[in-house]
Amino acid sequence: MRRVALRGIRAHLVRFVLSVLAVALGVAFVAGTFSLRTMLSSTFTGIVESTTTADAYVQGTQTVGGSQPGGDSGLNPVPLALAGTLAEVEGVDHVIPALQGPIVLVGADGTAVQSTQAPSFAFAYDPRDDTLELTAGRAPEGEGEIAVESATLESSGLALGDSTTVVLGDDLRAVEIVGEATGGTPFAGATIVLLDAEVATAAYAPDGLVPLHAVHAEDGVSEAQLVERVEAALADVPEGAQAAAVTGDSLRADTRAEIDGQLGFVTTFLLVFAGISLFVGGFIIANTFAMSVRQRMREFALLRAVGASPAQVFASILVQAAAVGVLGSALGVAGGVGLVQVLKVVFERMGMALSGEIPLDGFTVAVSILVGTVVSVLAAALPARRAALVPPVEAMRDDVAVPERSLRVRAALGSLAVLAGVAAVVSSVRSPDGDDAGTVLGIGAAAVVVGTLLLSPVIARSSIGVLALPLVAAVRPLGRLARGNVVRNPRRTANTAGALMIGMALVGASAVLAASAQASTSAIVEAEANADLILQSAGSSSIPAGAVDDVAAVPGVDAVDPFLAGSVLVAPAGRTPGPEDAGLVAGIEPGAVGRSLDIEEIDGSFGDALAAGRLAVQESAADDAGWAVGDELTVVGVGGTRTVEIGAVIDSRAIGTSVVLPADLFRALVPEQQTFLSTAFVTFDEGTDAGDVRDGVTEAVQPYVVVAVLDSEEYVSQIAAQIDQVLVILYALLGLSVVIAVLGIVNTLALSVIERTREIGLLRAVGLGRFQLAGTVTIESVLTAVFGTVVGLGVGVALASAMPAVFADEGLGTLVVPWGSLAAMLALAVVVGVLAAVWPGARAARLPVLQAISYE
């Protein structure tokens, strides 16, 4: 039977090619996801290996905040003076303090050098540090000189000997590039600058504290021995009270684990779309085998008549499906490698160089082929079962008709799934404050989608009858003929449209969410921000404090209110905070309340609380933790521990943190190096000319290159543009499912042409022209595509419309349905239908009339 199955593939090669392509596209996503993750992991692992080369590290022992992307571990800093003590320990060759922090390098075009969201930082040059090696020029000396990493130098457009500007702390400094350095691995687009040691110390350790010390051992001293000796030395000095030593291997392992955890989210995100693609591909495979079984019933009957058992017939079809799966998966693995190669080139052009060749390990190949094959076999199982169970005598009649099962059971199951899903969605909307409201909404949405897929054959006849009315009236008699062909087999039509239905449901939901997010942001800014201008940082950079001071000195500016953010520990008074209590808090000047911010006060006075040195908490956080005005919280930061009373409970969407501290207290707890200032609100004096003041503010921030000056509308537009960027990525990922859906329509139409060969011949014989026949097939394709799109968009928009009610506390409080975008998607469905019909229509038109009439 294996040989029979393989000959069946060869005899009906065309009908399996599109199924192979469907599997290949889905598997390409799976293989590409794993390969991309491996490449990213190897890139960042290489960075870790090349930048943490010490045998031991001395770092803090107390958690004072959450770990930050810039490399801050969230532990208390250690004294810079420990370097001298550690250098005298037996077996220590040299000690390098971590003197590093943020910097802004101005490129040849006068803008900040930055790549995607990669960090921009500088550190002290030390000839003993093998992280970077000077390959040209010399080491920087004094405040007016820097050295630059090779990739950064190339992306900046600068060259050795050029003069430029850097923003270091609060200062704008004119510098000359005197050296070029190269690392042992690409740094994934990070902007890296080397400074003179004294300059770096003044900028990044003004209080005599550093994040850690890198301790390098002499030859013959193991990491364990070194750590033991360093620990003994720390116990003998007061500066070592809150410091401990860890082996280099331990720190590197922890860093790699953290990176892998962050990449795990990326992998999951991409695999979700890969799963969608495979699920959509499964519809095509199932449809292909279902139609193939219908057309080959006499062939299967003959196999039964010569002694083949139902199990053998069943197995022969599954063997064909497995062959499709294996071949499609193999092509998908190759496609995944090509996809990652394209992404690698794109990343490199964006300035994010990835290391090494594209990885393709045995695990990726095995998982990809297994997934593709299993999906193919499962999709073909039901049609195979039907073929195996049809009696041979019935199948060998002249007019072979496969009995269609009633849709009653499917309709009942679909109705129950839809009703249960709708009930879950309504429950989550009515109780949005429940802990599991989001989960209930997700489960309900999934149930609605599954139920709709089950119900689609039931609603196909009536729905397509309505959708076809314009075509029936405008294109006679082709419209009526095409409508009849589409509704003749509603199960097949629904399965064909189901692939497009899933993709369009996700696209419609994404469009509603994007439009609602933009409208919600606009509403939040209008309701809570009273500023005349907003200063916004670019990329991952923070607004330099010097820019805030310069803007405050502009004539006509009444005040500049910075919005500070940093990580601390917050816990109820009487309980020692731990790492689980780490989180971001905001620091706001008391005068900003009522001046540039208009925040809803649930209990207490927000402005008075900050002025009195008390903190404010968000209503949602207060409800979850049981906090109230008058309660005391313990706040732990690098600057120490404070017990602070809750002075107000607020409800704000503009402030994205649960706890708000007075700016003075925030600065006392969070050092400047760990403070992120992304936004500052500017208010004008009364009676001033807004245009003149804005010109002055723009001129004041121009030297800092990373600060944008925006009014409220521009600020909202900028956030909307960021949302649109995310939406483009989602559309690109969902586009794969749409492409697979197009293949499904092409596949179904092609098989339908084969199935209706005699019918087509008779139509041609009674006068239907070639172009009329091709037009009929095109209308069938358009009706199928429009049906899938309308149902998918309807489900997606309806489900997404429930999300603002559930996620209002997260800032998604305004519902907007983008009718223009939805209309464009409907027009796209027509285009999809026309394109999908090109090949099947041409094939139908080329059929010889006499041969088609005599076809059996």
- Do 289 and 210 share a domain, yes or no? no
Give yes or no for a contact between 94 and 87, defined as CB atoms under 8 angstroms apart. Answer: yes
- pLDDT tens digit sequence for 389-447: 777 766 556 554 555 566 788 888 889 999 999 999 998 888 887 768 888 888 999 89
Domain assignment of residue 854, yes or no: yes
106 located within any domain: yes
Domain count, the chain: 4
**Is residue 617 scored above 90 in pLDDT?**
yes
Residues 97 and 116 in one domain: yes
Same domain, 298 and 346: yes
Mean pLDDT for 725-748 is 74
Same domain, 813 and 849: yes
Which residues, in sequence order, are CB contacts of 504 under 8 Å at separation 6+? Answer: 738, 788, 789, 792, 793, 796, 825, 829
Helix (H, G, I), strand (E, B) or coil at 731: helix
Say if residue 520 is in the same domain as residue 547.
no
- Are the beta carbons of 448 and 745 closer than 8 angstroms? no
User: Residues 673, 719: one domain?
Assistant: no
Same domain, 126 and 155: yes
> Do 229 and 261 share a domain, yes or no?
no
Q: For 50-100, write each residue's pLDDT tens digit.
A: 778 889 999 988 888 765 544 456 788 899 989 888 999 899 999 999 998
In a domain, 603, yes or no: yes
Q: Tell whether 802 and 744 lie within a shared domain.
A: yes
Q: Does 223 share its domain with 352?
A: no
Q: What pLDDT, on a 0 to 100 scale, did the predictor assign at position 70?
A: 46
| pLDDT band, very low/low/confident/very high, at 781 (cuts 50, 70, 90) | confident
- Is 447 a domain residue? no
Is 32 a member of any domain? yes
**838-845 and 712-755 helices cross at what angle (nearest 10)?**
20
**Residue 654 corresponds to which tokens in the numbers above?**
């503009």
Average pLDDT, the chain: 83
Tell me the pLDDT tens digit for each residue of 295-353: 677 777 777 777 778 888 788 888 888 888 888 889 888 888 887 887 777 777 766 66
Domain identity same for 507 and 628? no
Residue among 629, 626, 672, 668 at smallest CA distance from 648? 629
Q: Is residue 445 part of a domain?
A: no
- Cα 385 from Cα 401, distance rounded (Å): 16
Whole-model pTM: value is 0.76
Q: Tens digits of per-residue pLDDT, 192-248?
A: 899 999 999 998 888 888 999 999 999 989 999 999 999 998 888 887 778 899 998
State what percent of residues in the chain have pLDDT above 90.
23
Range among 106-110, 384-388, 415-419, 727-731 with highest mean pLDDT value = 415-419
Last residue of a domain, one of 215, 247, 279: 247
Q: Which of 645, 677, 680 is nearest to 661 (CA)?
A: 645
Domain range for 692: 533-710
Q: Quick one: 504 and 544 in the same domain?
A: no
Going by pLDDT thresholds of 50, 70 and 90, the confidence category of residue 38 is: confident
Per the domain annotation, does 448 fall within a domain?
no
In a domain, 428, yes or no: no
Residue 622's nearest CA partner among 641, 603, 598 is: 603
Q: CB under 8 Å to 436, separation ≥6 — which residues? A: none
pLDDT tens string 569-579: 999 988 888 88
> Which domain-ending residue is among 710, 725, 743?
710
Q: What is the pLDDT of residues 3-32, one digit of tens each?
A: 655 565 555 566 667 678 778 877 887 788
- Select from 351, 382, 398 the last residue of a domain: 398
